[in-house]
Amino acid sequence: MRLLTIVAAVAALSSATPVQSPELVALEASFAEHMPTMKEKRQGSSSNDVVSGACRDVFFIFARGSTEPGNMGLTVGPVTCSGLKITLGLGSVGCQGVGPQYRASVGDNLLPAGTSSAAINNAVSLFETASRRCPDATLVFGGYSQGAAVMHGAVSRLSSAIKAKTVGGVLYGDTRNFEEGGAIDNYPRNDVLIICRLDDGVCGIGLVVTAGHLLYTTDGSVTRGVSFLAGKVRATR
């Protein structure tokens, strides 16, 4: 397990101040520093097209970051979903957030897999449900922060048949980037795009929450992610 160093970003995003406290308390304080302001801007969203919607050509399964509300969160999840719909067709893409077993609890970042077994199993079940309900659908996935850890654990455990339908993924601010060497075990390296800012400390040797961890919706990362996933889908047609 990495040594956890928590850095709370200042409002101007120009510097960071270390928080000296126990690991869990520090993690919770770091997320609390930023998330209330973000929640004031817009509600977290949920999408359940895999479990309750009609079959689509493409399903995007997404795991949100720690403390994000809804099952899609309020940062990169909803906008990546929207981008895929705009790019591939509104009626062609369905989106599904991971939950409710995935709680997006801050404390679960401290577990060996970077998230809980229940969260990973929840995600695996959604891939299986999508494949079973809509066998002709193409699957893509995404995750942010702890949600990236969920996808590392889930995608590596998918059956070969479901992996064959899962053509690509994008992970933003990947908390497992260092441990997994910028890849997902048992999944083609070229089929996953891991987007980690140089100023996002969670991607490195220490689990460091810095200002850069919160900038993926404003720095063009989502455009890159959508383009990558859309390209993978189009390559199958």
**CA distance to 24, 26, 36, per residue, from 21 (Å):** 8, 6, 21
- Other C-beta atoms closer than 10 Å to the C-beta of 183 total 17
The one catalytic residue among 49, 108, 191, 200: 200
- Other C-beta atoms closer than 10 Å to the C-beta of 34 total 17
Query: Is 105 a known active-site residue?
Result: no
Whole-number Å distance between alpha carbons of 70 and 95? 13
Query: Is 52 a known active-site residue?
Result: no
φ, ψ (nearest 5 deg) of residue 176: -110, 10
- How many CA atoms lie less than 13 Å away from 162 in the CB half-sphere? 22
3-state DSSP assignment of residue 158: coil
Query: Is 200 a known active-site residue?
Result: yes
Residue with tokens 């959604």: 126
For the CA atoms of the chain, what is the radius of gyration? 17
The one catalytic residue among 45, 145, 152, 221: 145
The one catalytic residue among 47, 108, 213, 221: 213
Both structure tokens of 185 = 């075990």
**CA distance to 6, 54, 106, 131, 138, per residue, from 169 (Å):** 28, 22, 23, 16, 12
Annotated catalytic sites, by residue? 145, 200, 213
